[in-house]
Structure 1
Amino acid sequence: MTEDLSAGRAGDRIEKEITIDAPVARVWAVLTEPKHVGSWFGQGSPTPVDLRPGGTMFLDHGEFGQFPTTIVEVDAPHRFSYRWASAYPGEQAVDGNSTLVEFTLTSEGDGTRLRVVETGFSSITIPDDRKDSASYESHEAGWSEQVVNIQQYAERLSA
Structure 2
Amino acid sequence: MKSMELGTIEREIHVDASPEVVFDVVSRPEHISEWWSDEATLDDGIGELVWGERVDVQQFSVVTAEPPRLFAFRWAYPDGKFDAEAAALLVTFELTPSGTGTKLRMTESGFREMGWEAAKLEEMYNDHVTGWDHFVPRLGEYAGRLASS
Q: TM-score, normalised by structure 2?
A: 0.84
Q: Residues 77-88 of structure 1 correspond to what in structure 2 (within 5 A)?
A: 77-85=68-76, 88=79
Q: Residues 4-43 of structure 1 correspond to what in structure 2 (within 5 A)?
A: 10-43=5-38
Name the amino acid aligned to 1:136. Y
1:49 correspondence with 2:38: no
Aligned twin of 1:122: 112
- Label 1:36 to 1:140 Cα distance change in 2 as closer, same or farther (>3 A): same
Larger proportion of helix: 2
Work out the number of aligned pairs and report it.
143
Q: Residues 66-145 of structure 1 correspond to what in structure 2 (within 5 A)?
A: 66-85=57-76, 88-89=79-80, 91-126=81-116, 131=120, 135-145=124-134
Task: Indicate the larger mover: 103-112 or 62-71.
Answer: 62-71
Tell me the alpha carbon deviations over residues 95-119 of structure 1, each in whole angstroms, 9 at most, x when there is no partner: 5331101000000011010000011
Deviation for aligned residue 1:87: 5.5
User: CA RMSD for the aligned pairs?
Assistant: 2.5
Larger proportion of strand: 2
- Which 5+ residue runs of structure 1 have no aligned equivalent? 1-7
Q: Secondary structure at the match of 1:10?
A: coil
CA–CA distance in structure 1, aligned partners of residues 126 and 105 of structure 2: 18
Report percent identity of matched pairs: 31
- Label 1:135 to 1:94 Cα distance change in 2 as closer, same or farther (>3 A): farther
1:150 correspondence with 2:139: yes
CA–CA distance in structure 1, aligned partners of residues 5 and 94 of structure 2: 22
Which stretches of structure 1, 4 residues or more, deviate above 4 A after TM superposition? none
